C-alpha cells in the first residue's frame, strides 16, 4: 500500500527550515509516521527576494506569506509553517490558522561584538534593525542612538557587525534557541525593558479550511496555552489594524485560568509611546485584546497611526 506523503511549505531560511522540521518531527511522533511520509517544500517569498529595502517600504506582513499561502490554496502543499510574528491577522478565504506549537522564549536578544547591553552603548552608537517596533522602542529609550537598516539571517548580521555596519542589533531569542545559536546573544532583554512583537516565539501551522484529515493531524500537536495567548495578542493587533507601518508590541501571559495582556504602540521615530495592561479570564482573551487596543487608541488620540 502506498504511504501518504504530506507536503510542508516553508520559507528557505535556516530558521524557517528548523521550524518546518520541528513540525514534521512532532507529526511523526504523534502519528507513528517516518520522514518518508513528509516532503519539505521551500517557497521563496517577496520578503526573501527583496533584501535592499526596509520592509515597510515594500508592503506589510504578507511579504513573507503570500506565495506560501498561494501554494496552499492551489494544493501544491498540505500545510504551511510560519513564524507567527510575520503573520497578518487575516487569512485568505479558504485557509485556517489555529494550530500553534509550544511557544519558545519571547524575549529579544541583544547582539554585539563590542558591548554587553543596551546600557553599554555609547552616545552615537549605531544599532541595526529592520523592525519598526525595535527601532521605535530603542529610540524611545535611547534617542541618542543612531538606528540603521539591518536585514539578513544570523550569520549575515554577525558579518555586518564585524564590518562595522552597526555596533549592535537585536534578534529573537526564540530563533537563536531553535538554531542552537544562543551563544550569539550578549543578553536576553527583559520584556519590561523591550516588550516583544505580537506572537513572537510562536510557530503556526496553516491549512485549508476544508481539509478534514489535516485538521485531525494538526489537532494532535496543537498547544492550548500558546493558542490562548495568541488569540488575545492577535485580537489586540487586529483591533489596532496593525501592519508593518506601525510599531506595536504585545504579550499575553497565563496564570492558571487568568490571562494578563500587555500592549504598547509607539511613534515610528520613538518620540512618544503609550502602553497598558489588562487582565481577565482566559476565555475572555479576544475581548481583552480588543479592549486594551481601544484604551491605547484613546490614550494616543489616534495620532500614532
DSSP reduced 3-state for 281:
strand
Alpha helices in the chain (DSSP H): 14-31, 46-49, 55-58, 66-73, 132-141, 154-162, 173-178, 212-219, 224-239, 285-300
Distance spanning both ends of the chain, measured CA to CA? 57
Structure-block grid coordinates of residue 25: 518531527
Q: Taking phi first (over 0 means left), then psi (-120 to 50 degrees means alpha), and beta for anything else, what does residue 40 get?
A: beta
Structure-block grid coordinates of residue 266: 509607539
Catalytic residues: 86
DSSP reduced 3-state for 262:
strand
Cα separations in angstroms, 17 against 41, 126, 268: 10, 31, 32
Alpha helices in 32-131 (DSSP H): 46-49, 55-58, 66-73
Nearest residue to 28 (alpha-carbon basis) of 20, 19, 37: 37
CB 8 within 8 A of CB 27: no
Cα separations in angstroms, 64 against 84, 223, 228: 11, 23, 24
Amino acid at each position: 500500500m502506498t504511504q501518504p506523503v504530506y507536503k510542508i511549505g516553508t520559507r528557505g531560511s535556516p530558521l524557517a527550515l528548523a521550524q518546518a522540521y520541528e513540525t514534521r518531527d512532532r507529526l511523526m511522533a504523534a502519528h507513528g509516521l517516518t520522514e518518508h511520509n513528509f516532503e519539505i517544500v521551500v517557497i521563496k517569498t517577496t520578503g526573501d527576494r527583496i533584501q535592499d529595502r526596509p520592509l515597510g517600504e515594500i508592503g506589510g506582513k504578507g511579504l513573507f506569506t503570500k506565495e506560501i499561502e498561494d501554494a496552499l490554496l492551489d494544493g501544491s502543499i498540505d500545510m504551511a509553517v510560519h513564524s507567527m510574528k510575520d503573520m497578518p491577522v487575516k487569512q485568505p478565504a479558504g485557509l485556517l490558522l489555529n494550530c500553534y506549537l509550544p511557544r519558545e522564549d519571547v524575549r529579544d536578544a541583544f547582539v554585539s561584538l563590542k558591548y554587553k547591553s543596551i546600557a553599554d552603548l555609547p552616545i552615537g552608537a549605531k544599532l541595526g534593525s529592520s523592525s519598526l517596533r525595535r527601532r521605535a522602542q530603542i529610540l524611545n529609550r535611547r534617542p541618542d542612538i543612531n538606528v540603521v537598516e539591518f536585514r539578513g539571517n544570523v550569520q549575515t548580521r554577525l558579518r555586518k557587525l564585524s564590518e562595522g555596519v552597526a555596533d549592535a542589533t537585536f534578534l529573537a531569542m526564540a530563533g537563536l534557541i531553535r538554531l542552537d545559536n544562543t551563544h550569539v546573544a550578549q543578553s536576553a532583554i527583559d520584556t519590561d525593558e523591550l516588550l516583544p512583537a505580537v506572537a513572537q516565539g510562536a510557530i503556526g501551522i496553516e491549512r485549508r479550511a476544508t481539509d478534514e484529515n489535516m485538521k485531525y493531524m494538526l489537532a494532535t500537536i496543537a498547544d492550548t496555552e500558546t493558542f490562548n495567548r495568541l488569540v488575545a495578542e492577535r485580537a489586540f493587533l487586529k483591533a489596532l489594524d496593525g501592519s508593518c507601518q506601525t510599531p506595536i508590541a504585545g504579550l499575553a501571559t497565563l496564570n492558571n485560568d487568568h490571562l494578563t495582556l500587555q500592549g504598547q504602540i509607539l511613534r515610528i521615530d520613538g518620540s512618544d509611546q503609550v502602553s497598558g495592561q489588562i487582565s481577565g479570564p482566559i476565555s475572555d482573551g479576544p475581548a481583552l485584546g480588543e479592549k486594551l487596543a481601544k484604551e491605547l487608541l484613546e490614550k494616543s488620540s489616534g495620532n500614532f497611526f
